[in-house]
Structure 1
């Protein structure tokens, strides 16, 4: 039976994530996942697509604080819960959202390291960002993710990709939230509904991949893989796919080792063969 083998949260969109063994799930996804985000002078979100150096900023949660650390920088501590800051409108892809500023000290710390004028903002519990209604229920929410609260990938999908590349990259390149073991490679392509610890997940759409997986998270240097191999094996309608976006039905908690129950399967999305070419 498939099992949940890894859990990752990314408190600040596009900064380094945190691997955890167990974590709470709230109405927007994993607790604190992409609750914070960097925006530029035009209040547009920033990501590793534009600034690969963002990968070098590490995050950790200690007590009631989010700690950011980066090479040659003193750690920056931020409160996990705060009602200070000004309300501003920010843009995530096609969504305009209300966020709160985190203060000039945080802005200066990040601007200095990234060498760009930027601001750190966060989403309060009261601010609602709905998921695209084409794929979601009216009640579905997310924080500052690209569009969905969860990304699910199986271990054997990465194993198959690494075998096809004849090299090895780590799962963190793909920035999943939930990693599943003990299933066939790309089995998740056909999953439509799964349950983990009594939380139901709907998988309405495969994840199209951008340039982020070519960035080495340890050095921020860019290469050509895995996009070359994904273009060969996982291309459909001019996009390449790896992993499945997911929505959850209710809050709860998740722990590594819990069974992943496959409730409903369908046609593979994207409609690609899982066999190596």
Structure 2
């Protein structure tokens, strides 16, 4: 039997431009791998939550709709994981970075067409979405892929440098015309390869992540009674689904939600 954590499947879905309605209970349809030759979709689950993560490795924001684009999800002008923190040497910062797990404790909200970020004892940082290159372009690297982003200013730099106690921490934003990375897809039910048809920006491997609440519940049921329980938030999905069996998503070849 595989380890419990490796058994949790955060499924990836190939992207096309469309809108996922955020209303709770929207049906999820799938083609089971066993019946993929029939190309017949059947109802398998319901959408429970939609979440977008404007800044990589910061908390997500629950929303009532998501637009699915060719390289990730979008809510109004805000694109998923389109902001990125880098250190003084322009290396990517995530919660995995030493001393940066506290990024998970920040509070984010959309307000006045801006992204507001709050932290104890710091003034609220208010970010507008950049639509063009209006400052220095920072060169960085995301999991081995050269990437770039536009510097978001001294106010953002001071906010995150103080919060993380790391001098030189900068925030950058990806602009749509800047370079993208090849996404990852699964082939032959196991092998994962890069594919330029599904581009991503600062995401780890896929532009859209889905997780099954029943799979998370199953994991928690197997943990020792005194163990800290996990949550869907630990897996940072864009779409949380419910009303299906644990790990049933492992059997889905294709997934459809509304027009996506």
- Does the alignment reach a TM-score above 0.5? yes
Spell out, residue by residue over 1:128-167, the C-alpha distance to the aligned partner (whole angstroms, 9 max, x if none): 3122466354231112111211121101001101111146
Tell me if 1:183 matches 2:244: yes
Tell me if 1:93 matches 2:143: yes
- Structure 1 residue 64 displacement after superposition: 2.1
Aligned CA-pair RMSD: 1.6
| Higher RCO structure (Cα 8 Å, ≥6 apart) | 2
Matched residues in 2 for 1:137 and 1:183: separation?
30
In the other structure, the counterpart of 1:46 is 93
- Structure 1 residue 82 displacement after superposition: 4.0
In the other structure, the counterpart of 2:197 is 139
Spell out, residue by residue over 1:177-226, the C-alpha distance to the aligned partner (whole angstroms, 9 max, x if none): 11111111011122221111121xxxxxxxxxxxxxxxxxxxxxxxxxxx
In the other structure, the counterpart of 2:177 is 126
In the other structure, the counterpart of 1:198 is 259
In the other structure, the counterpart of 2:52 is 9
- Structure 1 residue 23 displacement after superposition: 1.8
Mapped contact 2:183–2:199 kept (Cα < 8 A): no
Aligned length: 199
Mapped contact 2:91–2:140 kept (Cα < 8 A): yes
Matched residues in 1 for 2:160 and 2:67: separation?
28
More strand by share: 2
SS at match of 2:122: coil
Mapped contact 2:59–2:108 kept (Cα < 8 A): yes
TM-score by length of 2: 0.72
SS at match of 1:107: helix
Unaligned runs of 5+ in 1: 200-277
